Structure 1
Amino acid sequence: MPSTRPASSSNALAISDSGVPSEFTHSAQGTSLRRILRLPALVFFGLVYMVPLTIFTTYGVVTQLTGGRTAAAYVITLLAMFFTALSYSAMVKKYPIAGSAYSYTSLSFGPSIGFLAGWSLLLDYLFLPMINYLVIGLFLNIAFPQVPAWVFVVATIGVVTVLNIRGISSVSSMSNLIVGAQVVFVLVFIALAGKHLLGVEALDLSAPWLGDGSQVGFLPLIAGAAVLCLSFLGFDAVSTLAEEARDPRRDIPRAIVITTLGAGALFILLALVSQLVFPGSAFKDPEAAAGEVMLQAGGRFLEMFFTAAYVAGAAGSALASQASVSRILFSMGRDGILPRRVFGVLSARYKTPTTAIVLVSLISLLAVVIDLTTLASMISFGALVAFSAVNLAVIKSHLFDGQPRSGADLLRYGLLPLVGFALIVWLWTSLSLLTLGIGLAWFAVGLAYLAFHTRGFSHKAPEVQFSEPL
């Protein structure tokens, strides 16, 4: 098992007078992130990462795929995500450090497997900011056709980069504003949709669950649930801020569970209302189905309001996702699995991983030339690999590494993560061949890099060093 011994006193965790950890210093080279985030900020970060309105990105596609049962598909996805969220909560209590699935898997199964898990996780984290920039360019180009989409993409990347370099407090402040704006839109949408539904004579409340008959059986629901995993890429991002939370062992697990359940409930509610307002699955353009729903519910005003709120949400998600992936790159660089002099250093002024932030921004420029379908395919594979690894890491670290094995432990650290792993594998079976092909190719590149880094696996990969007493 990787070393988890406490570091010397000079590298130990600093404790404030109130007993709250004030600073975490990594044993690799004295690098530390600022502990300033409390529970509300962590929850808002997770929610803005997930984008409350992200349901409308794939709403039309999933509605057609499931035969008008998007709400039911969300219930299945939420169930799988909830068990996985519990696993993330268990791991962050044990290892309250940045790195998410990479760190947890490294400390449970060893640095080589940890690197492969982190590499897979990078697939969705690297491209999630890009997909947001792409959507922003598309929507704003529709609103302002005289301005090329790439101008909006590049401008947004620049603003997001500056805010992330300035520090997590800037990200947190913007997250609060963006979530607030989307909450206002959700309230307006539900109010106008409710007014519309009051005028419907034969309202069928069972339609969102039974569908319109165009797709029957359980398999279409599972296929839709697999696509909807993209909506939940956010609860795990909260764990990447473990070294910037005031009380990570208490607040990070709570934030993960609250974010997962809160967002899941909101997704289901919005899907239900949308399907009642616009029954069935016959859209003029499935990729723009949200516009048809908004026109039906509140006319042109609601459609324009939706565009503004959706673009704001996409910008917020880009802001939060860039912050998360830069911290994963920083964690991997700090441990030496990526070049330490490049990725494992912080800005002297802002205490942020500036090099990693700028690199993610440069990669995100591909949003100017890449298409939405390819990006979505890249993201799903990495997320499911990481979720699977974290579920298994709970079992390994809590039950098979000399820990007490009471009945409660067997339930909490054995059965629950095993159920989460089984549900994630179940969703895997519904991924498209394109997604699997891209994901396996990315995994192969990571395996080749690891082989090069360890000289044909003859040397051990760098270990995660955890300086807080366990």
Structure 2
Amino acid sequence: MRALLRSLVRTKPVDRLVRESGAGEGGELKRTMSPLQLTLFSVGATLGTGIFVVLGEAVPLAGPAVVVAFLLAAVTALFSALSYAELAGTIPLSGSSYSYSYATLGELVAWVSGWCLMLEYAVSVSAVAVGWGQYLNDLFDQGFGYTLPAAISSPPGEGGLVNVPAVVIVVLSALLLLRGTSESATVNVVMVFLKTGVLLFFCAVAFTAFRSGNVKPFAPLGFAGVSAAGSKVFFSYIGFDAASTAGEEARNPRRDLPLAIVASLAIVTALYVLVALAAVGAMPLSAFKESGGEASLATVLERATHATWPSVVLSLGAVIAIASVVLTVMYGQTRILFAMSRDGLIPPIFQRVHPRSRVPVANTVIVAGFIAVLGAAVPLGRLTDATSIGTLFAFAMVNVGVIVLRRTRPDMPRGFRTPFFPVTPLLGVAFCGYLMVKLSGVTWVVFSLWTLGGLVAYFLYGRRHSRLNSDPGGTP
């Protein structure tokens, strides 16, 4: 029993993790990503469907003070972002919080973190792919007066047979990822600039209809309303950690990864606050309340201009935004699986790198196939809520990891140091725990079942095949 417990808490030394980084079966990943590409990878993963629809749900809670709610959520995310920045600059690997946990908290916690990230990435990107099809239909309807038949645009149980658009965007993203990391990053840069431009277009149009009376009273429900809205919009910030999955393909990871993580959060926050201010200034609070949470940015534009063409532009921006999220999140999923496979915890097929493209081909194909099936045939429903709790768990483990590594390896070179240590990571843990407690009971049930399945998989395969079994070198 003692041997079993020791194996569950064994860590993989940071020096060894870094030494083994980059190499998989068949070759190494290629360091091609610049600071701009890394930053926009995180922006691309974060700036998706949330901002296009979340205002309709958040404004009735906070009123015009939804602007403050976005800032509150940004501060909450910042605690974890700073911890991510420190560990990314210290342990520049592909595994994100999985690798950080392996180096600081032990193999079992690392496995659970990786397992949670599988849930977060796979299910969330499936849901995003489904959303892409819906926005594509909106674009067709507004621009051409045509909508796809329900049979090929909705899954079984929701009036259709198969969601073809969801499959299409997953396949296109997979084909781009298979071409190479540099090509994928370049396309993402273009898409991020386009969707940022569309959001700035929204602001320019909405500010022409700005009325000071629309922002009074500023906080009709007080801080309680702002806090509730902050919890609602927090999940629009999930994705800022995407750059941390590119640790082995960054040109200068110790310098560039911390910069990319913090800069992406700043960029997204500025856009969210600007869009929120433009929206509440252009449309009265009563209109948001009357919509029953269904008001979106398109609704704001239609009321501001009394025309449909701005909504067409916005729908185009949403299609681009969601495509970018699918691309970047799929990339992150494959790199986390690559790291777990290299450690022996999942089958070796996930670490096989193509000698010419330097891409984990089989890994990418398997991930794309799984996501495409989910998006095409499964009504995701409440399952998507479980991605939030998995994300928060991973965030909490990163904050704890910073504290542990500062105590166990204070001498390690760090590209970035979290300010106000240990207050900042402790606040990160506290905020993550608070938001997890606020999630529904159904979400906790799904998360518990997923975690139980992960533990079964670990004891049946991962623990037995861990590379630390054949080449210990770990720290009990």
TM-score by structure 1 length? 0.86
Q: Per-residue displacement from partner, 1:297-346 (whole Å, max 9, x unpaired)?
A: 33311111110110111011101110111111111111111112x21211
Indicate if the aligned counterparts of 2:64 and 2:215 stay in contact, CA closer than 8 A. Answer: no
Query: Could you tell me which residue of structure 2 aligns to residue 348 of structure 1?
Result: 355
2:247 counterpart of 1:238:
no
Query: Could you tell me which residue of structure 1 aligns to residue 88 of structure 2?
Result: 92
- 1-structure distance, mates of 2:58, 2:251: 39
The residue identity in structure 1 corresponding to 2:11 is P
- 1-structure distance, mates of 2:465, 2:171: 39
- 1-structure distance, mates of 2:33, 2:405: 27
The residue identity in structure 2 corresponding to 1:432 is S
Query: Could you tell me which residue of structure 2 aligns to residue 168 of structure 1?
Result: 181
Mapping 1:90-239, distance limit 5 Å: 90-142=86-138, 143=140, 144-147=146-149, 148-149=152-153, 150-197=163-210, 200=211, 202-207=212-217, 209-211=218-220, 216-239=221-244
- 2-structure distance, mates of 1:60, 1:255: 30
Which 5+ residue runs of structure 1 have no aligned equivalent? 14-23
- Seen in structure 2, the aligned counterparts of structure 1 residues 5 and 254 have a Cα distance that, compared at 3 Å, is closer
Query: Could you tell me which residue of structure 2 aligns to residue 16 of structure 1?
Result: none
- 1-structure distance, mates of 2:267, 2:111: 31
- 2-structure distance, mates of 1:448, 1:219: 41
The residue identity in structure 2 corresponding to 1:446 is G
Query: Could you tell me which residue of structure 1 aligns to residue 157 of structure 2?
Result: none
Q: CA deviation at 1:252?
A: 0.4
- Seen in structure 2, the aligned counterparts of structure 1 residues 117 and 276 have a Cα distance that, compared at 3 Å, is same
TM-score by structure 2 length? 0.85
- 2-structure distance, mates of 1:171, 1:99: 19
Q: Per-residue displacement from partner, 1:104-140 (whole Å, max 9, x unpaired)?
A: 0011011111111111122111122212210111122
- 1-structure distance, mates of 2:61, 2:235: 16
Query: Could you tell me which residue of structure 2 aligns to residue 17 of structure 1?
Result: none
Indicate if the aligned counterparts of 2:205 and 2:301 stay in contact, CA closer than 8 A. Answer: no
- 2-structure distance, mates of 1:300, 1:327: 41
Query: Could you tell me which residue of structure 1 aligns to residue 78 of structure 2?
Result: 82
- Seen in structure 2, the aligned counterparts of structure 1 residues 59 and 363 have a Cα distance that, compared at 3 Å, is farther
Q: Secondary structure at 1:203's aligned position in 2?
A: helix
Query: Could you tell me which residue of structure 1 aligns to residue 13 of structure 2?
Result: 4
Query: Could you tell me which residue of structure 1 aligns to residue 334 of structure 2?
Result: 326
Q: Secondary structure at 1:429's aligned position in 2?
A: helix
Q: CA deviation at 1:227?
A: 3.1
Query: Could you tell me which residue of structure 2 aligns to residue 434 of structure 1?
Result: 442
Greater Cα offset, 219-228 or 324-333: 219-228
- 2-structure distance, mates of 1:224, 1:62: 5
Which 5+ residue runs of structure 2 have no aligned equivalent? 1-9, 141-145, 154-162
The residue identity in structure 2 corresponding to 1:252 is L
The residue identity in structure 1 corresponding to 2:297 is A
Q: Secondary structure at 1:308's aligned position in 2?
A: helix
Q: CA deviation at 1:66?
A: 4.1
2:320 counterpart of 1:312:
yes
Mapping 1:363-382, distance limit 5 Å: 363-365=370-372, 366-371=374-379, 373-382=381-390
Indicate if the aligned counterparts of 1:226 and 1:431 stay in contact, CA closer than 8 A. Answer: no
Q: Percent identity?
A: 26
Q: Secondary structure at 1:243's aligned position in 2?
A: coil
2:293 counterpart of 1:297:
no
2:45 counterpart of 1:44:
no
Indicate if the aligned counterparts of 2:345 and 2:465 stay in contact, CA closer than 8 A. Answer: no
Indicate if the aligned counterparts of 2:400 and 2:429 stay in contact, CA closer than 8 A. Answer: yes
Aligned-pair RMSD on alpha carbons?
A: 2.9
Q: CA deviation at 1:210?
A: 0.5
- 2-structure distance, mates of 1:353, 1:319: 15
Q: Per-residue displacement from partner, 1:409-435 (whole Å, max 9, x unpaired)?
A: 896442211111112222222212222
Greater Cα offset, 238-247 or 46-55: 46-55
Greater Cα offset, 441-450 or 97-106: 441-450
Indicate if the aligned counterparts of 1:82 and 1:261 stay in contact, CA closer than 8 A. Answer: no
Query: Could you tell me which residue of structure 2 aligns to residue 33 of structure 1?
Result: 29
- 1-structure distance, mates of 2:442, 2:181: 36
The residue identity in structure 2 corresponding to 1:418 is L
Greater Cα offset, 371-380 or 108-117: 371-380
